[in-house]
Structure formats: structure tokens, C-alpha cells
Structure 1
Amino acid sequence: MRRIYDPESLLEAELLIGVLASEGVRVHLVGRDLVGAVGELPPQGLLGLAVADEQADHARALIAAYNGAQPLVGDEPQTFPGTLIC
């Protein structure tokens, strides 16, 4: 297994796990059990996404595509122009 990405939060980690799993990539979340100890441990670098070596390049490409995604033009409601409502 190879650590390929360090998410900023548990929420981002779970979201990316779902994205990768939907594409058939098996993911292990490193540090999940350490999140409760944030008051005791430095918050940076606790979480990491790890995948099998042969899936690492594909997983990195999926994460890069997700991080680079932009909302579609006209996909915004009229009542909140300039704001993407999920």
C-alpha cells in the first residue's frame, strides 16, 4: 500500500473514499483512530489515504480531477448568484 493523499479533515477523507470507491479503488484511511486525539497530537499529517501500489496512479488522477472540478455554468440557482448550493 502507498499513501497517496493527506486530506485536511475527516470529512474530506470520507468524501474522497467515496469518490475512489465508486471507481473501483480500494482505499485505507490511515489515522482514522487518531482524530479523537487532536488535542494531544499535532493536527497536520494525521490522516492519509492509502491504496494498493498498482492503483496509486489512477487514484491520484481521480483526486486531482475532483480537486480541480468547477461548477457548471448556469448550475446556480437564481436566488444565490455566484454561489454553488449543494
Structure 2
Amino acid sequence: MQIAYRAKDITEAHIVAGLLKANGIETYVGGHYLQGAMGEIGAAGFSNVHVEDEDLYPARQLVAEYEASGHVTPVTEGDDGKSNSYARWFLLAMAVLALILLNL
């Protein structure tokens, strides 16, 4: 499976997945459990829409058309760094917590 779309959040991922399914492309939305790890913080950048290898090109065409219509703001690698920033701070906090617990 290939990543056809990197969504800002799980809701957006399911909207795009629904669009693809409505056009006959089977999808898998990943990142449900990763977002839950962030708790109440607005986690972003963990949700991806996956499609089969042979459906990658048509899926990306449909997503590009949908983005061009103004319904979805595209997320690109290194967009504004916020999604990566959340993940880095979360991982840093978890590492510090693990070190504290191991030293007890």
C-alpha cells in the first residue's frame, strides 16, 4: 500500500478516504491510535490515507482535483513544522518521563 494523502487530522483523512471510496478506490486510514497518544492536544500530521499500489495515480489525481476545488488545504512535507513540532515535543516528554521512571 502507498500513501495517497497526508491529512492534518483524522477527520480530514476520513473525508478524503470517503471521496476515494465513492470513486471506486479502496482505502485504509492509518494513524487512529497515534493521535490518541497526544491526549487533548490537537495532534496533527499522524493521519494518512493509504491505497493499493495500482490505485495510487488515480487516487492522487482525485485528491488534486478536490484540493483545487478549495475544500481541503493541502498538507505538504515541512508545511509549517507544527505537526513535526508536536511529535518532537511529545517524544521528548515521553523520553524524559521514561528516564525519570527508570531511575526510581
Q: Same fold (TM over 0.5)?
A: yes
- Number of residue pairs matched by the alignment: 71
1:19 maps to a residue whose letter is L
Q: Could you list the structure 1 runs, at least 4 aligned residues long, displaced by more than 2 angstroms after superposition.
A: none
2:63 alignment partner, SS class? helix
Cα deviation for residue 44 of structure 1 reads 4.5
Q: 1 or 2, which has the higher helix percentage?
A: 2
2:51 matches 1:22: no
Cα deviation for residue 45 of structure 1 reads 3.3
Structure 1 27/14 Cα, relative in aligned 2: closer, same or farther at 3 Å? same
Structure 1 58/47 Cα, relative in aligned 2: closer, same or farther at 3 Å? same
- Identity among equivalent pairs (%): 31
Structure 1: gaps (5+ residues): 72-86
Once the two structures are superposed, what CA deviation does each residue of 1:44-79 show, in whole Å capped at 9, x if it has no partner?
Answer: 4311111000000000000010011159xxxxxxxx
1:10 maps to a residue whose letter is I
CA RMSD of aligned residues (A): 2.4
1:61 maps to a residue whose letter is Q
2:28 alignment partner, SS class? strand
Write the distance in 1 (CA, Å) between the matches of 2:38 and 2:70. 32
Instruction: Give the equivalent residue in structure 2 for 1:67.
Output: 67
Q: Bigger relative contact order, structure 1 or 2, given CA contacts below 8 A and separation 6+?
A: 1
Instruction: Give the equivalent residue in structure 2 for 1:13.
Output: 13
Structure 1 8/56 Cα, relative in aligned 2: closer, same or farther at 3 Å? same
1:45 alignment partner, SS class? coil
